[in-house]
Amino acid sequence: MRYRLIIFDWDGTLMDSEARIVDCMLAAARDTGLAELSRAAVRDIIGLGLPEAIDKLCPGIGAARAETLRQHYALRFRAADQTPLRFFPGVEQGIARLRAGRSTRLAVATGKSRRGLDRVFAANGSGAWFDASRTADETRSKPHPQMLEELLDETGVDVGDAVMVGDTEYDLDMARALGMDRIAVTYGVHEPRRLAACQPSFTAHAFPELIDWLHA
């Protein structure tokens, strides 16, 4: 195995949640009387913490309206969560292969809230896959590297023995700020050319391809 610690983004990397995130944000904007947002604009902010995402989507709307939008989005997403989302093809089998190597630890670094991540962990049992996790509401949002620094401290792994896997430039820039290796996956949110600009160590077009490279 190439690394002692593999850190995964969640939305767009492990779980196919793009459509739900976009639909819920568009609905929340309508709920709060904001100008119609484009699907492309909402796709672009997936991976950021919710306050940072709203600030980028709707600059200058003010703290009160931003909080109203946040609340409506959270309500929409919790309601939609009654229908479970699916992992991308090969994720469950790939994680099982990684966990079979006892020297490898797994973690999550996500723009989700702690409540949201714990909810999905409980719904599908995936929390047992990971040794540690960080969410945007308990540390700093991507692309700031603080959540990676905290995961390294918690697991006791040096930055040179860790890798970040993600589908956005926010994931990869966060790792690059620490000099951490990074792997891009192209089946998620950001276009391959944006990911390539972050100089990933490897680019995977499907999750099994990523697992094969990690085991090579």
pLDDT tens for residues 57-77?
A: 999 899 999 999 999 999 999
Alpha-carbon distance of 57 to 22, in angstroms, equals 12
> What local confidence, expressed as pLDDT, does residue 102 receive?
73
CB atoms within 10 A of CB 191: 9
State the residue for tokens 């391959």: 192
> What local confidence, expressed as pLDDT, does residue 81 receive?
80
For the segment 187-191, the average pLDDT, to the nearest whole number, is 96
One-character DSSP codes across 130-176: -SEEEETTSSPPTTSTHHHHHHHHHHT--GGGEEEEESSHHHHHHHH
Please give the share of the chain, as a percent, with pLDDT higher than 70: 100
Which CATH number does 18-80 carry? 1.10.150
> What local confidence, expressed as pLDDT, does residue 95 receive?
97
CB atoms within 10 A of CB 42: 20
User: Nearest to residue 107, comparing CAs of 80, 71, 134?
Assistant: 134
Q: What is the model's pTM?
A: 0.94
Strand order in the sheet with 105-110: 132-135, 105-110, 5-8, 162-166, 181-185, 202-204
Active site residues: 9, 11
State the residue for tokens 């995402």: 53
Which CATH number does 5-16+87-215 carry? 3.40.50.1000
For the segment 145-152, the average pLDDT, to the nearest whole number, is 98
Name the segment(s) of the chain with CATH classification 3.40.50.1000: 5-16+87-215
Name the segment(s) of the chain with CATH classification 1.10.150: 18-80
